[in-house]
Amino acid sequence: MGIYSRLIFPRLLDLSMSGQELSRYRQSLLAPVRGEVLEIGFGTGLNMPYYGDGVRSLTAIDPNVGMAKLATPRVQAATVKVDLQTANAEALPMADERFDAVVCTWTLCSIPNIEQALAEVWRVLKPGGKFFFIEHGLSPDRGVGTWQQRMTPLQRRIADGCHLDRPMANLIQAVFAQVELQEFYATDLPKLIGYFYQGVATKPPL
Ligand SMILES: C[S@@+](CC[C@H](N)C(=O)[O-])C[C@H]1O[C@@H](n2cnc3c(N)ncnc32)[C@H](O)[C@@H]1O
């Protein structure tokens, strides 16, 4: 991992993702999260203030060690017990059916093999477990979508592998049959990066 990814990008990310609008989405997504929880793509820990009393434990993974350094003060300030690990969502080092909930915020855009990561989310969820997500991705507006496809090669370079043009709903629905989903443009972001998919996918109970 190069200096840009490890030292510079985590700081840029922390600044750019700690604004009020994203914080409101974090709050609404995380309020119903309960039980034994896994967060994939933990980043700098910006979701920490929004986990409620119903969370018994939080396991958090991110492959970028530069993120963990910035996340540590937020982890230390938390009331919930956090197990922060350096790991890749495409190959989670956790047992099958271990978690009540998996959380993922603006991370599926950056995982090289997103299908494999979603299969891993499914594997580690208990029957009846829930996948809470908010992601940016491909807009259904043709003009916006075309520009998202054009700009993705540049975005991948400057934003550490982030794709603008992933059809998140299709990718998640290919793994989870039951998905409550909202799609909308964020009000404070350019449309290229601001088409959001927020929802909860459920693994069927036994
Ligand atoms: C845009 S950031 C979002 C960080 C955090 N989820 C948030 O909401 O602030 C994307 C995160 O995905 C992480 N990431 C990239 N590839 C990953 C992978 N294969 N598995 C898990 N996380 C990954 C990055 O290191 C980064 O922390």
Domain boundaries, the chain: 3-202
pLDDT in tens, 17-63: 999 999 999 999 999 999 999 999 999 999 999 999 999 999 999 99
Nearest CA to ligand 1 atom 23: 41
The CATH class that applies to domain 3-202 reads alpha beta
Nearest CA to ligand 1 atom 10: 107
Best residue among 6, 62, 88, 114 to mutate for probing ligand 1's pocket (most ligand atoms within 8 Å of CB) is 62
Cβ-count burial 160-177 (b if 16+ within 10 Å, e if not): bebbbbbebbebbeebbe
* C-alpha–C-alpha distance, residues 5 and 8, integer Å: 6
Nearest CA to ligand 1 atom 13: 41
pLDDT at 148 over 90: yes
pLDDT at 188 over 90: yes
Q: Which residue in the block uniquely carries the two structure tokens 């998140």?
A: 168
Residues at CB less than 6 angstroms from ligand 1: 13, 17, 40-41, 43, 46-47, 62-64, 67, 88-90, 105-107, 110-111
Q: Sign of dihedral through CA atoms 108, 112, 116, 117? A: negative
Q: Which of 34, 40, 205, 56 is nearest to 135 (CA)?
A: 40
pLDDT in tens, 89-116: 999 999 999 999 999 999 999 999 999 9
Atom of ligand 1 minimally distant from the CA of 162: 1
Q: Please report, in angstroms and rounded to a whole number, the separation of the first and last CA atoms in the chain.
A: 41
Q: Sign of dihedral through CA atoms 65, 68, 70, 73? A: negative
